[in-house]
Structure 1
C-alpha cells in the first residue's frame, strides 16, 4: 500500500484528522501551532484559522460550525465564525489533546499535562448543553477514542501504557476496561485511532513510523510503514470514505524528515464509518 502526500506542511504537532461529510472536507489541527485546518480534496482548497490557545481537536457540529477542544476547555465556533465557550475549566500546566464524538453525539475530550505526568490528564464526556462528566481521572496522555460499528464497544488509548483498551459501551458509558492490543517495546507508542466498517481498529504509532490495523479480536493483521517517525492520528475520508488520512508531527525532531508535519493519505485503504457530529 503506497502513501501519497495530501497536504505538504510543517505542522509542529499535526493531529486529529476528521472527515466532515456535510462539507466534503478534511479537518485537522496543529496543536502547538494553535491552528485549525481544512482541506477539500476535490478542489484542493485549504483554509486555516488560528486559535487563541493550543487546540487539541476540532469536530463538526450538528447545526454547523465546529466544536474545539482547547487548552482551557471546550469552545464553539458558529457558522458565522464567532466563538463562545461551552465549558471553561483552565488548569495550570494542562492542555487539551485528542477528542471524539460518540454515536449519541456527545463529545469525549482528552487532556494531559504539558510534562506528561502520570495521572495529570482526564477523559470527559461533554453533552450539547455543556454538562461535563469526568469518565477517567487517572490518565497520562489521553489519545485515540472510537466506537465499534454497532456502538457496543469503545476503544481508548492512554499512550504511555502502550495499550489499546476496549470497554463495553452501555447506556452511553464505558464499563469493563480490558486490553485489546499491546504495542511492543521499540515499536513506538499508540496515539490516535479510527475504526473501520469491518470493526477493525487502525492505530497511529508515535515514534513508530507506522499505522497498524487490529481486528476486533485484537489480532494484528496489517502494518503500513511510513517515512515519518511521529505518526499522530488517522481517519477515513473522501466521498466514499475509503481514503485513510494520516497526520504527522515534527516537534522536537533533531533532523525532521521532509514530510514531517505533512498530512499523508493512503487511497483505497479500506472503508470508514460516517462520524456523527457533536449535538451542541
Structure 2
C-alpha cells in the first residue's frame, strides 16, 4: 500500500531531522543538524520561524516547564521560554556530535550521539533525567538514530543505522533488556533512520538512501510504504491537532545534483493516529 504526500515546507535543509509535535504551541519543531538551525512550522497558519544554534544540533523537544531541550554537539542544552540558553549537561567529546533523541513515557530524554566519521562504537545512547543526571544505556553504537516506545511503554524500538535493523527491547523503569530484531532493511532499500510509533503500536521507519517511509506491525510485518521524490529520508513524526498527519524530514547533504525538494519537510495527511508524547521533565 502506498500513501500520498504533500510538501509542507519547501526548504533546502542540509540534514533535516527530528520532527516533533509541540502540543502546547500547536507547532511542529524540526532541525537542520549540519546547518545548525531550529525550525518551527504552524500548519494552521503556515507561519514559520528559524533560529540558528551555536553548534550542530541533533534533536529538539518541548519541556514540561516551557521552553525546549536541545541535543547539541557538546551536550544537553535548555532554551528557556524567554529565549535564554543554559547547559543542563556539558560533555564535549572531540570528533563526536549529537544525533536523534526521544522523550520516554516517564519524561526522561534518551539522547543519541555518533562520531562525525561514523566509526563503529563511537556513539552512545543515554538516558537524561530532568536534573541533568546521565546514564549511558548503550555504549557501542555507530550512528544512534530512531528511538520510540510502544503505546503501553513496555517496549522500546531503536535504530543503529549501519546495522540495517530496527531492534526492540523490553523496557521497564528506565531499563532496557532482551534486545532482538523487529525488522531488517534490505541493502537495496537503504538504511533505517528516524522512527515513530503510532497508536496501533506500528513502527514507522524513515529510509536514508531509500526514498521512503515504511510502517511495520508490532510483529515485524511490512504493511505500508510512503514513497517520496527524494533519496535521503531522515525522520518522521505525527502532528496536527488530532495527531493524524505524518511529517517527514529529508536531507540534501552529499548529493551531487539534489532535486529542488531535497531538504524539504513533507506531510502525509491522515496517515494514521499518533501517540501523544510527554514533554521532557526538565
- Same structural fold, with TM-score higher than 0.5 when normalized by the shorter chain: yes
Instruction: Name the counterpart of 1:151.
Output: 153
CA distance in 1, matches of 2:280, 2:172: 19
State the match for 2:254 in structure 1. 252
SS where residue 269 of structure 1 aligns?
A: coil
* Equivalent pair of 2:5/2:226 in contact (CA under 8 Å): no
**Matching residue of 1:6:** 8
- Counterpart residue number, 2:109: 107
SS in 2 for 1:186: helix
Aligned-pair distance for 1:235?
0.2
- Return the offset for 1:172: 1.5
Which residues of 2 match residues 1-280 of structure 1 at below 5 A? 1-280=3-282
Contact 2:63 2:69 in 1 (8 A): yes
Structure 2: which 5+ runs fail to align? Answer: none
Unaligned regions of 5+ residues in structure 1, if any?
none
| Number of residue-to-residue matches in the alignment | 280
Partners of 2:176 and 2:23 in 1: CA distance: 27
- Structure-2 separation of matches of 1:224 and 1:77: 34
Note the C-alpha offset of 1:48: 0.9
Runs of 4+ in 1 over 3 A off after TM superposition: none
Q: TM-score, normalised by structure 2?
A: 0.99
| Shift, 1:126, TM fit | 0.2
Residue 29 of structure 1, CA deviation: 0.2
CA distance in 2 between partners of 1:100 and 1:185 (Å): 26
In the alignment, the residues of structure 1 paired with residue 254 and residue 159 of structure 2 have an alpha-carbon distance, to the nearest angstrom, of 22
CA distance in 1, matches of 2:49, 2:62: 15
Deviation, structure 1 residue 61: 0.1
In 1: Cα distance, 2:278 partner to 2:177 partner: 22
| Root-mean-square deviation (Å) | 0.5
Task: Determine the C-alpha separation between the residues in 2 that align with 1:101 and 1:184.
Answer: 29
Tell me the distance in 2 between the aligned counterparts of 1:128 and 1:187.
38
